[in-house]
Amino acid sequence: MTIRDAAPAGAPCWADLWATDVEGSRAFYSRLFGWDALEPAAAFGGYWMFSRGGAPVAGEMGSMGDMVADNTWKPYFCTRDMDASLKRAEAAGATIQAAAMAVADLGVQSVLTDPAGAVFGLWQPGTFQGFSVMNEQGSPSWFELHTREHAAEVDFYRDLFGWTVDPVGDSDEFRYATFRTPGSEDELGGIMDSSRWPSAGGDHWDVYWHVDDATRAADTVETLGGSVVQRPDRTPYGVLVLCADPSGARFKLREPPAHG
C-alpha cells in the first residue's frame, strides 16, 4: 500500500468516469470495489466522488446537455503550473479539449488529447490533492498508455512531465516502458506499443484498480452486469483482467504479484 499527502508533479493523481448511466454506474462500482458514492455536487455540474474508507478514490460525471458521455475512464496528472503545462503540451502537438478551469478552491483542471489521440487530464491542486491511497483493495494501482506511436508518445510525455522512462522491452513483439518521477524508484505506470493489435482500438489510457483476488473480482463484474473482455491473465506484473461496466466503460483489475 502507498499513502501520500500529495502527488509529485507529473504523477497520476486522479481518475474519473464520464458515464451515460449515472445511477447504474454508482451502484456497479460501489458494489464491485466497496466504494461509497458521495452525493453529486450541483455547484460542479453534478460531479461526485467515490470514496473508500473515507479516502477519495475516483470521480464521475454524467452527460451534460448536448454533450453525451462517452463511457470512458480518464486519468489526471499533477501539475504545479497549469498554464505552463498547457503551453508545453500544445507546442508539442496536443489539443486542449477543456480549457483550464478553477474548481472552487479545490484546484484547476483541464482535459487534453495527446498528439496520437489519447485523452488525459491535468490537475493543479489547491485544497484537493487527488487520491492519497494506492495499491490497496479498490484503489488505483497502475496507469497505462496504449499507443501506436510509441517512440513519439514516450518523448511527448517525458518532455511534458519530466518523467524518467525505463525501457522494459524494445522488440516488435513487445515494446514497453515504465515511467516514474525523477529521483523516485516508484514506478507509476507504463507505455505499451499497441501497433501490433489494431483491433484494440485507438490510442488510450487504461486505469488499473487494485484487487486482492482478480478471479473473484472478475466473477463479481459479471454478476453485477458488466463483462470480462479478457479473462484473468497471470503475468510477471500480477494477475490482470480487462473488464467493461454495464455501459461499456473499460477498466482493468490488477492483483499484484505476491512479492509486491
Residue type, 194: S
Given this structure, which CATH class describes domain 2-133? alpha beta
Q: Poorest-confidence range of 3-7, 94-98, 154-158?
A: 3-7
- For residue 236, the SS3 value is coil
pLDDT-derived band at 151 (thresholds 50, 70, 90) equals: very high
Q: Which residue(s) pair with 145 in the sheet? A: 191, 205
- At 90, the pLDDT band (50, 70, 90 cuts) reads very high
Predicted confidence at residue 28, as pLDDT, reads 98
CATH 3.90.1150.10 at 136-255, yes or no: no
Residue closest to 206 by CA, chosen among 250, 255, 241: 250
Share of the chain above pLDDT 70, in %: 97
The answer to whether domain 2-133 and domain 136-255 are alike in fold is: yes
Residue ranges per structural domain of the chain: 2-133, 136-255
> What are φ and ψ of residue 89, in 5° steps?
-65, -45
pLDDT at 260: 47
